[in-house]
Structure 1
Amino acid sequence: MSWRFVSLPPQDGYHMITSFVAVAEYINNGGKNTFLVFYAKEPFVNVGVHQEVWLEVDLEFARKMGIPVVRRDLGGGTVVITPGEHDYFIVIRQEDAPKNPNELYQKFLTPVVNVLRSYGLNASLRDQDIVVNGKKISGNGAMTHGNAVVIAGNILLSLDVDLISKCIKVPTEKFRDKMAKDMSEWLTSLEKELGYIPPREEINKKLKEAFEKDLGIKFEESTLTPEEIELWEKLAKEKANEEWIFYKDNRHPDIHTERCVKISSAVALCHVDYKARKLLRITLKVVNRKIDEISISGDFFVMSPKGFIEYLEDKLRGVPVRIDEIKEVIVNVFNEKKPIIFGFDENDLANAIAEILNKPEIQEVI
Structure 2
Amino acid sequence: MQVYVLGKVGDLLSTTLFHAFARLNLFGLILVEPEDTYLSLGYFDNAKEILDMERVRSLGIPVIRREIGGGTVLLAPGQVFYQLVIPKSLAPFKVEDAYKKFSQPVLETYKRLGVEVEYKPINDIVVKKNQRKISGQGAGDIEKSFVFVGNILLRFDVRLMAEVLRTPDKNFLIEVMDQNLSWLERELGKTFEFSHVAPILEEEFRKILPLEKREGIPEDALRLAQKLKEELTSEETLFEDTGKRHRLIKIREGIFVRNKSLDINGKRVRLTILVEDQKVKLCRLVGLDTEDLDKEITGLRYDEESVRNFLEKRSMDFLLPLFWD
TM-score w.r.t. the length of structure 2 is 0.72
Aligned match of 1:135: 132
RMSD of aligned C-alpha atoms? 3.1
Alignment of 1:242-261 (within 5 A): 242-248=235-241
Give a deviation string over 1:233-267, Cα, whole Å, max 9, x none.
1111222322222222xx88xxx9xxxxxxxxxxx
Q: Please say if residues 69 and 138 of structure 2, whose CA atoms lie closer than 8 Å, have aligned partners that are also in contact.
A: yes
Q: CA deviation at 1:13?
A: 6.1
Aligned match of 2:102: 108
Which of 4, 15, 18 is matched with 1:17 structurally? 15
Give a deviation string over 1:198-227, Cα, whole Å, max 9, x none.
2312211111111123x1534323333222
Partners of 1:57 and 1:13 in 2: how far apart?
A: 21
- Does structure 1 residue 41 correspond to structure 2 residue 35? yes
Partners of 1:35 and 1:272 in 2: how far apart?
A: 32
- Does structure 1 residue 273 correspond to structure 2 residue 247? yes
Q: Which runs of 4+ in 1 moved over 4 A?
A: 274-279, 358-362
- Does structure 1 residue 53 correspond to structure 2 residue 50? no
SS at match of 2:166: coil
Partners of 1:129 and 1:233 in 2: how far apart?
A: 30
- Does structure 1 residue 224 correspond to structure 2 residue 217? yes
Give a deviation string over 1:26-62, Cα, whole Å, max 9, x none.
32xxx4x310011222211222221221211112221
Partners of 2:230 and 2:6 in 1: how far apart?
A: 18
Partners of 2:246 and 2:183 in 1: how far apart?
A: 33
In structure 1, the gaps of 5 or more residues are 257-270, 282-350
CA shift in 2, pair 1:92/1:352, >3 Å: farther
What letter corresponds to residue 164 of structure 1 in structure 2?
M
Which of 20, 23, 26 is matched with 2:24 structurally? 26
Q: CA deviation at 1:100?
A: 0.9
What letter corresponds to residue 58 of structure 1 in structure 2?
D
What letter corresponds to residue 63 of structure 2 in structure 1?
V
What letter corresponds to residue 41 of structure 1 in structure 2?
E
Aligned match of 2:231: 238
Which of 57, 79, 94 is matched with 1:63 structurally? 57
What letter corresponds to residue 157 of structure 2 in structure 1?
D
SS at match of 2:93: coil
**Which is further off, 69-78 or 59-68?**
69-78
Partners of 2:180 and 2:229 in 1: how far apart?
A: 32
| Alignment size in residue pairs | 262
Give a deviation string over 1:160-216, Cα, whole Å, max 9, x none.
11111111110x2xx311111111111100100111232312211111111123x15
CA shift in 2, pair 1:109/1:13, >3 Å: farther
Partners of 1:69 and 1:166 in 2: how far apart?
A: 14
Partners of 1:11 and 1:120 in 2: how far apart?
A: 27
Q: Please say if residues 165 and 176 of structure 1, whose CA atoms lie closer than 8 Å, have aligned partners that are also in contact.
A: yes
CA shift in 2, pair 1:154/1:240, >3 Å: same
In structure 2, the gaps of 5 or more residues are 259-302
Q: Please say if residues 272 and 352 of structure 1, whose CA atoms lie closer than 8 Å, have aligned partners that are also in contact.
A: no
CA shift in 2, pair 1:54/1:132, >3 Å: same
Identity %: 27
SS at match of 1:210: helix
Q: CA deviation at 1:272?
A: 8.0
SS at match of 1:222: coil
Partners of 2:113 and 2:12 in 1: how far apart?
A: 32
Partners of 1:274 and 1:67 in 2: how far apart?
A: 23
Aligned match of 1:267: none
Partners of 2:222 and 2:82 in 1: how far apart?
A: 17
CA shift in 2, pair 1:216/1:8, >3 Å: closer
SS at match of 1:204: helix
Partners of 1:272 and 1:189 in 2: how far apart?
A: 26
- Greater share of helix residues, 1 or 2? 1
Partners of 1:163 and 1:202 in 2: how far apart?
A: 25
Q: CA deviation at 1:142?
A: 0.4
Q: CA deviation at 1:154?
A: 0.5
